[in-house]
Structure 1
Amino acid sequence: MDEESADKHELFLTLFTANEAAIRAFVRRLVPTRQDTADVMQGITLVLWRKFDQLDDRDGFRKWAFRVARYESLGWLRDKGRDRHVLSEDLLHLVAEEATRDESWLAAQRDALDQCLEKLPQPNRQLVLAAYAPEAEIQQVAQRSGRTVGAFYQWLHRIRLQLVECTRRTLGTEGLS
């Protein structure tokens, strides 16, 4: 791989990984299951990579990626249209438009929550993240915290209330509430 190709690859990976969670969340709102989301995301990633040279404004990667994700998701749903569990195309377009509008608000909420999590003392932050990790077992996390499962759930509830209030304050100071 020559240096120009390596730079292009590195830039793509940097932009894609910075936006992948948001793109995945967007697709998840459009397709029926998590497995469907994984399947659609594979196609989206390939299209983004193949068409990356066509992106003029690197700062517009996220918007461009969402547009690609929308078309790929709708195409996937159209192809699955024979399945009686798939929504009508008009309704899918409506959901896609709403998901696109909601994305900036959801991104602001995620950023605010990240800021609030950073404000927690390190041991508390680690326990909260452990409780919400994929495949987390609350009994083990509670034991690690030195609490019973019931006491851990109560503690976690209080921390969540603090995070909700902090997130609201953060969004309020940014004029987004």
Structure 2
Amino acid sequence: MDEETADQHEIFLTLFTANEAAIRAFVRRLVPTRQDTEDVMQGIALVLWRKFHELDDRKSFRRWAFGVARYESLAWLRDKCRDRHVLSEDVLDLVADESTRCEAWLQAQRHALDECLEKLPQPQRGLVLAAYAPQAEIQRVAKQSGRTVGAFYQWLHRIRLQLLECTRRTLQSEGCHE
């Protein structure tokens, strides 16, 4: 790999990594399952890299990536259209439009939630993150916390309410409105 390609690769990885969670959330709203999201995301990453040289303004990477994600998701869904659980293309276009419109608000919510999670004491934050990790086993996390499963669910409910209130206050203090 020559130096120019290496530089482009580094720039791409920096931009993609910074935006991957938002792109993944966008795709997740369009496709039926998390596994489908993983499949579509692989294709999106390849297309973004292959077409990265076409991007004129790096500041518009997110908008450009969302456009690619939209087309790749819709193409994937068209290929799967024989499945009766797939929505019509018109409905998917509406969902994609609404998802694009709401992305700034959703990003502000994610940022506020991250800030609120950081305010939790480390043991509590660790348990919350463990409970929501992919393939998390609540029985194992409850045992790790020293609680029964029922008591852990009650504790987790109280923490979620605290995080919800903290997130609302944070968004309000930052002047964010949907």
If the length of structure 2 is used for normalisation, what is the TM-score?
0.91
Distance of 1:112 and 1:137 partners within structure 2: 26
Match of 2:78 in 1: 78
> CA, structure 1 residues 6+89, in 2 after alignment: closer, same or farther (shift >3 Å)?
same
Match of 1:6 in 2: 6
If the length of structure 1 is used for normalisation, what is the TM-score?
0.92
C-alpha displacement of 1:159: 1.0
Structure 1 residue ranges, 4+ long, deviating more than 3 angstroms after superposition: 79-85
C-alpha displacement of 1:4: 1.8
- Residue type of the partner of 2:15? L
Q: Select between 164-173 and 51-60 the one with higher mean Cα deviation.
A: 51-60
- Secondary structure at the aligned position of 1:51 is classed as helix
C-alpha displacement of 1:71: 1.4
> CA, structure 1 residues 37+174, in 2 after alignment: closer, same or farther (shift >3 Å)?
same
Distance of 2:10 and 2:147 partners within structure 1: 44
C-alpha displacement of 1:17: 1.6
Within-5 A mapping of 1:9-24: 9-24=9-24
> CA, structure 1 residues 132+81, in 2 after alignment: closer, same or farther (shift >3 Å)?
closer
Match of 1:131 in 2: 131
CA-to-aligned-CA distance 1:10-41 (integer Å, 9 cap, x gap): 11111112211211111121122333222222
Q: Select between 151-160 and 73-82 the one with higher mean Cα deviation.
A: 73-82
Q: Select between 80-89 and 41-50 the one with higher mean Cα deviation.
A: 80-89
C-alpha displacement of 1:118: 0.5
Match of 1:65 in 2: 65
- Secondary structure at the aligned position of 1:66 is classed as helix
> CA, structure 1 residues 151+35, in 2 after alignment: closer, same or farther (shift >3 Å)?
closer
C-alpha displacement of 1:82: 4.3
